[in-house]
Amino acid sequence: MLFEGEIIRSRQNKNLVELCKLTDRKAREATRTFRLDGIKLLEEAIKNGVDLTSVFLRASDAERISAELQDRCGRDAFAKVARVLLVADEIFERISEEKSPEGVISVAKYIDKFQKNVTIYNSTIFSEMKNERIVLLESIRDPSNIGAIIRSAAAIGIDRLILSRDCADIYHPRAVRASMGTLFNQRMDRVSDLPEVIRGLRESGRRVFAAALDERAEVLGRFALQSGDCVVIGNEGHGLSDGTLAACSHSVIIPMSGRAESFNAAVAASILMWEFAKNH
């Protein structure tokens, strides 16, 4: 295949400078683009029709990677990529986010079809979501946890994740990597008032469970879940806010052996999502 221009041999190259800026959230939001490192993520992006603006290939691996992607995604794998650039090996090693770089870094546009900052507080929207499996997240600030939750949600079949405004950025490199490509087709909404969304869900006829230990808490697996039930999962260190707890109709806890104080947020989310989804 044809590559654009000569091999990039300077870390100060303007294309590389712009690429490296994408580790910062402000730069991502300003350009509405994000980076993804590795062959698997690029393969999933191509298969899901993600809008790719640039692909950077380690010079020594360029032909191999191109052939591998064409084998996985078809001969026109790079057809819709605006630019394919070669980077000298020693420079590529310095800009990669991977411990063992695979030789490819891509830049993609935000996935507006599936991920949005929205206001979903009116009854019409809740009616449209009546048959969806919905899980809500509050203040999950670790990007790796967010990515892992997205991956589990996609695997389990959650239709929509609703995130509070202060959750980690889903386009953070660690979140993108942990999602293993499921970011590209998982519907997610980021909202400014999570308790108000919870109240709207309840008004539409749903029960909303807070994953929290309080006086209402029921033990997961020891009571009947109903179709349409939703669960809210919070920060593993601080739990859910008082406003969110008050907005929920019920609380739920995951039974534990007593040898650990708590679950990792992503693990707890996976357990809860599985139990709630299977009763939908």
**Domain for residue 8, yes or no?**
no
Q: Are residues 119 and 80 in the same domain?
A: no
Kindly give the pairing relationship between strand 134-137 and strand 230-233. Answer: parallel
Q: Are residues 164 and 75 in the same domain?
A: no
Q: Cα separation of 161 and 135, whole Å?
A: 5
- What average pLDDT score do residues 135-142 get? 96
Which one of 109, 138, 164 terminates a domain? 109
- Domain of 101 in residue numbering reads as 14-109
Whether the per-residue pLDDT at 121 is higher than 80: the answer is no
Contact of 115 with 29, CB cutoff 8 Å:
no
Query: Confidence band (pLDDT; 50, 70, 90) for 3?
Result: low
Residue 130 CB partners (closer than 8 Å, separation 6+): 204, 205, 228
Lowest-confidence pick of 77-81, 109-113, 145-149 = 77-81
Q: Are residues 43 and 96 in the same domain?
A: yes
- What average pLDDT score do residues 37-45 get? 95
- What average pLDDT score do residues 22-35 get? 96
Q: Are residues 258 and 132 in the same domain?
A: yes
Whether the per-residue pLDDT at 123 is higher than 80: the answer is no
Q: Are residues 89 and 123 in the same domain?
A: no
Q: Are residues 260 and 174 in the same domain?
A: yes
**Domain for residue 169, yes or no?**
yes
What is the per-residue pLDDT for 259? 82
What is the per-residue pLDDT for 81? 85
**Domain for residue 7, yes or no?**
no
Count of structural domains, the chain: 2
**Domain for residue 5, yes or no?**
no
- What average pLDDT score do residues 52-75 get? 92
Q: Are residues 58 and 154 in the same domain?
A: no
What is the per-residue pLDDT for 36? 95
**Domain for residue 246, yes or no?**
yes
Which one of 109, 134, 152 terminates a domain? 109
Reported as type and span, the H/E element at residue 127 is: helix 123-128
Residue 183 CB partners (closer than 8 Å, separation 6+): 111, 115, 147, 150, 170, 171, 175, 176
What is the per-residue pLDDT for 122? 61
Query: Confidence band (pLDDT; 50, 70, 90) for 276?
Result: very high
Contact of 166 with 117, CB cutoff 8 Å:
no
What is the per-residue pLDDT for 260? 74
Three-class DSSP category at 102: coil
- What average pLDDT score do residues 44-64 get? 94
Q: Are residues 270 and 132 in the same domain?
A: yes
Q: Among 109, 72, 81, which Cα is nearest to 4's? A: 81
Which one of 73, 93, 109 terminates a domain? 109
Residue 164: Cβ-neighbour burial (10 angstroms; 0-12, 13-18, 19+): buried
Q: Are residues 134 and 222 in the same domain?
A: yes
**Domain for residue 6, yes or no?**
no
CATH code for the domain of 22: 3.30.1330.30
Q: Among 19, 51, 243, 55, which Cα is nearest to 138's? A: 243
CATH code for the domain of 268: 3.40.1280.10
Q: Are residues 228 and 97 in the same domain?
A: no
Q: Cα separation of 13 and 95, whole Å?
A: 12
**Domain for residue 103, yes or no?**
yes
| Segment 199-222, tens digit of pLDDT | 999 999 999 999 998 888 899 989
Q: Are residues 61 and 165 in the same domain?
A: no
Residue type at position 127: S
Whether the per-residue pLDDT at 125 is higher than 80: the answer is no
Contact of 142 with 265, CB cutoff 8 Å:
yes
Whether the per-residue pLDDT at 249 is higher than 90: the answer is yes
Q: What would you report as the CA-atom Rg of the chain, rounded to the nearest whole angstrom?
A: 21
What is the per-residue pLDDT for 105? 97
What is the phi/psi pair of residue 28, to 5°? -60, -45
